[in-house]
Amino acid sequence: MEFRKEKFRKMFPNLAEELESEEHKVAMNSVRTNAEAGEKAASERYLHYMPDVIDFIRRCDTKEQAEEIITYMEKRGEIKKESAKRLRKQLETKGVRSFGPKKEENFYPKHGQQ
């Protein structure tokens, strides 16, 4: 089906505006013609990645859950007392989402690790 720009704009004004704007453009810096090579590169993204306290906090829904994570990691010696104090202050003043958007279930398999 072929459209002229004017007809397309009349039929789909919002879509036309979005397509022509510079606001939501995504740069592409590589192209893979081999699907297997692309999948392998993507799956190695988190291959040896070890989540840190922020990664765990980003899975929380509430301040209370985040506080439990901080306390647990502090008790295990995975974070220092000073770091725990800074994290608690940020949690109290800015909230749980100040650490980043919530990481959904199966984040790592969806975003690279196989």
Question: Is residue 100 within 8 Å of 58, Cβ to Cβ?
Answer: yes
The predicted structure's pLDDT at residue 89: 95
What rounded mean pLDDT belongs to the chain?
Answer: 79
Phi, psi at residue 4, to the nearest 5°?
Answer: -90, 150
Q: Domain locations in the chain?
A: 5-103
Summarised one tens digit per residue, pLDDT across range 83-104 is 999 999 999 999 999 998 887 7
pLDDT bin (cut points 50, 70, 90) of residue 65 is very high
Q: What is the pLDDT of residues 18-34, one digit of tens each?
A: 878 776 666 655 556 66
**What would the 3-class secondary structure string for 8-33 be?**
HHHHCHHHHHHHHCCCCCCCCCCCCC
